[in-house]
Amino acid sequence: MLVDLTADFFSLFELPRAFRLNVSELDSRFRDVQAQVHPDRFANASESERRLSMQWATRVNEAYQTLKKPLGRARYLLELEGHDLQAENNTAMPADFLIEQMEWREAVMEARSGGDHHELERLHNRLYGDVAGRYDEVGHLLDDEKDFALATDRVRRLMFLEKLLSEIDDALASLED
C-alpha cells in the first residue's frame, strides 16, 4: 500500500543512508509520510485497513524518532551495517575514558550537592561542545571512511556522554525546583 513496512528508515523517507542528515528535510518528509498513513485517513476503511494504517503510523513514528537524534541515527546505521554495539552486555571501555567519566561525574555531583547552578551550566556547555565534536568524528567515520568498527567504539562512548549530559540536565532542573 502506502508504506513498505520492510523498508529501512532512510528509504521510508526517501533519504540517503547517511549520518549527516538534513534534519529539516527529515521533518518535512516525516510530515508528508505521516499525512499519508495517519489512522484518521482510514476512519471509514475496513478493519484490516485501519489496523494496517496503525502499523504504518507506528513504523513511521519509530523511524522518525530514530533518525532525528544523532545517537539513534548512528546506532541505526551501524545496525544496518551489521555492527552490534552490544551496549547491554559489553560495558568495557578504555581506562582513560573511564577515568574521564569518573572525573565528570564527581564534578557534577559536587556542583549539584553545592547547589552551584553556574558550575553545572559550565559543565553542560563544555560537555555539549565535546559531544558535538565527537558526533562530527562519527559522521566522518560513517559517511566518509566507512570505518564501522571504529565508529562502533565512538558511538558506545557517546552513549556514556549522552547519559552524562542527561544527568547534568536533571541536576540543573532539580536546582530550579
User: Within this chain, do residues 112 and 57 fall inside the same structural domain, yes or no?
Assistant: no
Residue 109 has a pLDDT of 96
User: Within this chain, do residues 113 and 167 fall inside the same structural domain, yes or no?
Assistant: yes
Q: What are phi and psi of 146, to 5 degrees?
A: 55, 35
Cα–Cα distance between 127 and 129 in angstroms, integer?
5
74 in any annotated domain: no
User: Within this chain, do residues 118 and 170 fall inside the same structural domain, yes or no?
Assistant: yes
Chain mean pLDDT for the chain: 93
Q: In which residue are the cell numbers 542527561 written?
A: 166
Residue 137 has pLDDT above 80, yes or no: yes
Domain of 23, in residue numbers: 9-68
Residue 56 has pLDDT above 80, yes or no: yes
Q: Are 37 and 7 in contact (CB under 8 A)?
A: no
Structure pTM?
0.91
User: Within this chain, do residues 106 and 166 fall inside the same structural domain, yes or no?
Assistant: yes
Measured CA to CA in angstroms, residue 90 lies from 87, 101, 139, 140, 156 at distances of 5, 17, 23, 24, 9
User: Within this chain, do residues 51 and 104 fall inside the same structural domain, yes or no?
Assistant: no
Residue 2 has pLDDT above 70, yes or no: no
Percent of the chain surpassing pLDDT 90? 83
Q: Which CATH number does the domain housing residue 45 bear?
A: 1.10.287.110
Measured CA to CA in angstroms, residue 37 lies from 14, 32, 62, 144 at distances of 16, 9, 13, 34
Residue 3 has a pLDDT of 66
Cα–Cα distance between 138 and 154 in angstroms, integer?
7
